[in-house]
Amino acid sequence: MSAQIPPLLRVEPKPKRQDTLSAPSPITRPGSALSLRSSPFAMSKDSKDKHGKEIVSVGDLKFGFDSRVPIDTLRSLYLRPHYVSTVADYENESPKEQEEFHSLFVKGTATDYQSKSIFHPNDNSISYTTLSRFPPVKLLPHADRKRILVTGGAGFVGSHLVDRLMLLGHEVTVLDNFFTGSKTTVSHWVGHPNFEMIRHDVIEPFMIECDQIYHLACPASPPHYQFNAVKTIKTSFMGTLNMLGLAKRTKARFLITSTSEVYGDPEVHPQPEDYWGHVNPIGPRACYDEGKRVAETLTYGFHRQDGVDVRVARIFNTFGPRMNPYDGRVVSNFIIQALKGENITVYGDGKQTRSFQYIHDLVDGLIFLMNSDETRPVNIGNGDEFTILQFAELVRDLVVKVQQEDGIDNPKRSEIVHEPMPTDDPQMRRPETTRAKQVLGWQPRWTVKMGIEEMVRYYKAKMAEGSI
């Protein structure tokens, strides 16, 4: 395989720019929680997809289900700080001045839907507040409004799916035990009449009335699923058994998020859905790999024996805002290390390959699959493949680019260091997505470069406000 970086991954040097989505004039508030020249959440205006079309919305109208949502509305939900004012600033400023500073963090009219919590620097405490009002959601007729259960809905992928389903006007119930998920990812919906969040472990039975079940509950990063291997297997088997039983009783459509790990360390490249995989059943990753494989077996057992309407999504590497910065995944590791000016750790020689998709593409694929008639497994991933070393260099260049655009002169450029390869780490991973394209009409729109830049700005802002 060529070691050259594909054109869509190249980072061309650019002069410092002043056209990001920030306030028209610099504002600095000494002593505040965030002393800023511009909004740390400002986004590049380069938002064109792989085909050169401007991305103004995500989703589509497919299979009778309208999943279209403006991208700016979604960004206003996750590109936001926990607090934006200090108590001294808040007490001494007029409402107009407070709103001007607050507007640095969001775009357009989204200021109405953001938290306005206050930071108390004297004792390092935060006075949290609820949103001024909930973001507007579609007002659907009762016949079109679905009751949707999302297990693992407070996690990285689940929270973005919940945002989309809520904005579309459906009734959403989140089930999560918060082992890897966090209330903060969906806290902006707490109290909404269409939303309910329940602390519950899916290995225990759960009863509810619903029309669709998105079963995402399971730790997905190696440090988390290896922390308690037996619990991971129980979650994959018992959790799936309980949710399939619920789907059988309520006649709900059931979608399970499986994984590319079912292919193990593949001997076929790229990996199509009919490839059976090459998995070590007793290795340190087997609790997750084999757990998901048996979950698929269980899903199709209920489908054939009991007529449960099932969907199986095999998710390939995905990244985006709300990823746990310390969960051991390559994307978050590289970005955090580069932002801190630390060495970027690459395991092995860096020639192992991966393909990464941005979170919005994945959510599109999940919603399309759920509402389609396809019952076979479907790969959902980005076919753009590159080596881990190429990816590390890309992240390093993009971090420097963002720091320079934000006014940091001569930012530290991280060095790339190599460490021993973890056990059973796959050498190649790229999806064959022909089925998704033909059956769902789905293909990735976001370039890796676009997604990384947005994620860099997200982590950079979280570090500035002290959340990381």
List, by residue number, the catalytic residues.
Answer: 288
Per the structure block, which two tokens stand in for 289? Answer: 């790999």
Token look-up 């035990």 returns 177
Cross-strand pairs, 257 = 313
Contact status, residue 420 vs residue 42, Cβ threshold 8 Å:
no
Cross-strand pairs, 195 = 172
Taking the C-alpha atoms of residue 457 and residue 391, their distance in angstroms, rounded to an integer, is 17
Closest CA to 4 of 385, 290, 364, 403: 385
Per the structure block, which two tokens stand in for 283? Answer: 């290795």
Per the structure block, which two tokens stand in for 324? Answer: 């746990």
Taking the C-alpha atoms of residue 437 and residue 166, their distance in angstroms, rounded to an integer, is 26
- In the chain, what is the straight-line distance between the N-terminal and C-terminal CA atoms, in Å? 37
- 330-339 vs 388-405: helix axis angle to the nearest 10? 40
Per the structure block, which two tokens stand in for 87? Answer: 């108590």
Count the residues in the chain.
468
